[in-house]
Amino acid sequence: MTRYLTLATVLAISGSLGGCGTLNCRTAECSSTDRSATSCCAADRLTTEAATLQEADTMQLGNFSVSLSVKDLAASRAFYETLGFKQVGGDGTGYLIMQNQTATIGLFYGMFEGNIMTFNPGWDRNSNTLPAFDDVRDIQRHLKSQGIAMMMEADEATTGPASLVFVDPDGNQILIDQHVPRAGSDK
């Protein structure tokens, strides 16, 4: 898992050093001639450098979509087409995958109850395999080490496609659904 500072952390560092909290030294707050270590511009330079430091774990979860349980696939498709979504996958009878700019939704008829947030490790939004990603089994071990209970677990003995399901504190289901083998394995 990769470690990076979030933008909020970077801006907080800048503000605690007396900076204006922006990454642009040309703002009105930075127009003074004082360029000391506590000035806005000095803090912003430090902030920019600090952005390359590593701090918080970031899982590489791959493509994100919302999987919607629908009552009528054709009616749902027509509705989302009015919002500019276009079909990019699916069998047309049980499910459809639709996209609009950066949004991806799955429409599923009779496959599950409720709606599910879905992540696909190893895939970009066009279902292309990524060269490097966090394997679903590694993600599962990390989540379990943080005390998150699994509703469905990936088989740790495998290296191929696998899935896991858990819920957030509000009961929303999250599916981590990896369709490609572990990076570097044949199957």
Find the range with the poorest average confidence among 3-7, 23-27, 101-105, 111-115: 3-7
Architecture of domain 63-178: Roll (3.10)
Q: Residue 37: is its pLDDT beyond 90?
A: no
For residue range 153-166, what is the model confidence (pLDDT) as tens digits?
Answer: 999 999 999 999 99
Identify the band that residue 49 occupies on the pLDDT scale cut at 50, 70 and 90: very low
- What is the spatial distance between Cα 9 and Cα 56, in angstroms, rounded to a whole number? 10
The beta strands (E) that lie in the chain are given as 2-4, 56-58, 63-70, 86-90, 95-100, 103-109, 116-120, 162-167, 173-178
Rounded percentage of the chain residues whose pLDDT exceeds 70: 68
Q: CB within 8 A of 172, min separation 6: which ones?
A: 115, 116, 117
Q: What is the DSSP letter of 152?
A: B
For residue range 111-141, what is the model confidence (pLDDT) as tens digits?
Answer: 999 999 999 999 999 999 999 899 999 999 9
Instruction: State residue 183's pLDDT score.
Output: 76
Instruction: State residue 58's pLDDT score.
Output: 84
1-10 mean pLDDT: 35
Distances (CA, A) of 101 to 20, 75, 164: 34, 21, 27
- What is the spatial distance between Cα 112 and Cα 183, in angstroms, rounded to a whole number? 29
First-to-final CA distance of the chain: 22
50-79 mean pLDDT: 79
Instruction: State residue 59's pLDDT score.
Output: 85
The beta strands (E) that lie in 36-179 are given as 56-58, 63-70, 86-90, 95-100, 103-109, 116-120, 162-167, 173-178
Instruction: State residue 41's pLDDT score.
Output: 46
Instruction: State residue 9's pLDDT score.
Output: 34
31-49 mean pLDDT: 42
Helix pair angle (7-16, 40-50), 10° resolution: 150
Domain locations along the chain = 2-57, 63-178
